[in-house]
Structure 1
């Protein structure tokens, strides 16, 4: 039988991967939920093991009273900060490595289903990201206080800042401002957003990924419902940066600046200038 030249697939360069269709590249919802759960489970596991190890060394004769020993240890000024540093410092790199290994083709694709580890369309998006990172905490604080009315707004992470000795503040800021935002942007504006956009309209995908982002941060806010709109606002702004810029880096920058202002507020509240 004669084979026409049009029926012969084009030759690929040696070692080149065939170009897959974008729809088939997107992570599944189970995979997206799995890697997000893995990230938070790793934080819990690392902090638990670290606390047990420190308690065992500090209280070698505690025996059955090990739980009380752990509580006493966690009450020390530096321990909550150390737990945050070690848990994020281990969980975030492992999660990044797992995502890169699971979806290597998606890493450098600009738009979903890609994760956007590529330069933005225009450098101007970095300036926009800086503006978003600076404005979001103030807008969110006004919104939260308005919704809270007479209720006291507490934040678990702020208590960590309150108890952080000066020597631990730099590493704490580095993980909260740099490591944490990078991992969370990959998970929520990379993996999860891509998985949702495969199955629904972009607007619904943005709303769904933003809502889950807000919900997983509520434990750090003592489950105060009036903090939810603040988190949603931040997540929506970050998703907009991600999609408009064709890169994840502006969202990482805005997220980091937002967290930087929060950490500065912790330390200034404890040691106000003057």
Structure 2
């Protein structure tokens, strides 16, 4: 994530592009990540349910929070390990066929920060104009145990942006670019990113608009800057501003 000069980015070796879509990455990256999330969450939930019978509310909150953090961290790191072993030099390459984990310039990082905060403000305005009711908490989507809002906020601000950008704007965009081109790959990865966030919106259609806009913004930052880091920063700032309410 260290800052580099534009010349350094320009000299980054281009990623070798295949002639067709790399379906191993398109299906494997999000599929493995989701399977690990669900599997680890359900396993930890079963352990917690067995450990807290009769239930101890305080202990359940602590355990549920740790389970959420371990689930997100474990699923993300194992998925990244799987990806890293299959892409080699493409991991740091800044071209559309690369994964973009090379460095970025300070200007692009600031652009990611500012655009993420502006998009979050637009999302707040939308939620104020068109409020939603009954949206599920993150913990209820993964584990059958309560969790402290702080744990969900930490996941939303720190872990989820890193892993989601690596999968959607890294693996998917890079794998789809040879066949669809940079624009088509950006649109396709954004569409899948939006679809996979449908459950947490609990039928609130308008809530998908900021998510789609965030995906499009992150894809644009990835393609223009040659790095995933500006999009990760934008994603973090977006989630951080929207997640402030969860702490109260």
Checking the alignment, whether the CA contact within 8 Å between 1:46 and 1:87 is kept in structure 2 is: yes
Residue aligning to 2:68: 84
Checking the alignment, whether the CA contact within 8 Å between 2:73 and 2:159 is kept in structure 1 is: yes
Residue aligning to 2:86: 102
Residue aligning to 1:205: 185
Query: Matched residues in 1 for 2:30 and 2:132: separation?
Result: 31
Residue aligning to 1:246: 226
Q: Secondary structure at the match of 2:213?
A: helix
CA-to-aligned-CA distance 1:183-218 (integer Å, 9 cap, x gap): 111110011011221111322221111011011111
Query: Matched residues in 1 for 2:46 and 2:26: separation?
Result: 30
Query: Matched residues in 2 for 1:151 and 1:85: separation?
Result: 26
Residue aligning to 2:3: none
Bigger-Rg structure (1/2)? 1
1:219 to 191, 199, 202: 199
Structure 1: segments with no counterpart, 5+ residues: 1-18, 63-68
Checking the alignment, whether the CA contact within 8 Å between 2:132 and 2:204 is kept in structure 1 is: no
Q: Secondary structure at the match of 2:175?
A: helix
Matches within 5 A, 1:29-178: 29-59=23-53, 76-78=60-62, 80-120=64-104, 122-143=105-126, 146=129, 148=130, 152=133, 154-157=135-138, 164-165=147-148, 169=150, 172-178=152-158
Checking the alignment, whether the CA contact within 8 Å between 2:48 and 2:63 is kept in structure 1 is: no
Query: Matched residues in 1 for 2:234 and 2:175: separation?
Result: 23
Query: Matched residues in 2 for 1:138 and 1:158: separation?
Result: 25
Query: Matched residues in 1 for 2:127 and 2:184: separation?
Result: 24
1:186 to 161, 166, 180: 166
Query: Matched residues in 2 for 1:181 and 1:219: separation?
Result: 18
Q: Secondary structure at the match of 2:196?
A: helix
TM-score (norm 2): 0.81
Aligned residues: 232
The answer to whether the aligner puts 1:24 opposite 2:18 as a matched pair is yes
Change (3 A) 1:132 1:21: closer
Change (3 A) 1:20 1:252: closer
Checking the alignment, whether the CA contact within 8 Å between 1:50 and 1:83 is kept in structure 2 is: yes
Q: What is the Cα-based RMSD across aligned positions, in Å?
A: 3.0
Checking the alignment, whether the CA contact within 8 Å between 2:92 and 2:98 is kept in structure 1 is: yes
TM-score (norm 1): 0.74
Query: Matched residues in 2 for 1:20 and 1:205: separation?
Result: 17
Q: CA deviation at 1:54?
A: 1.4
Query: Matched residues in 2 for 1:233 and 1:194: separation?
Result: 20
Q: CA deviation at 1:164?
A: 4.9
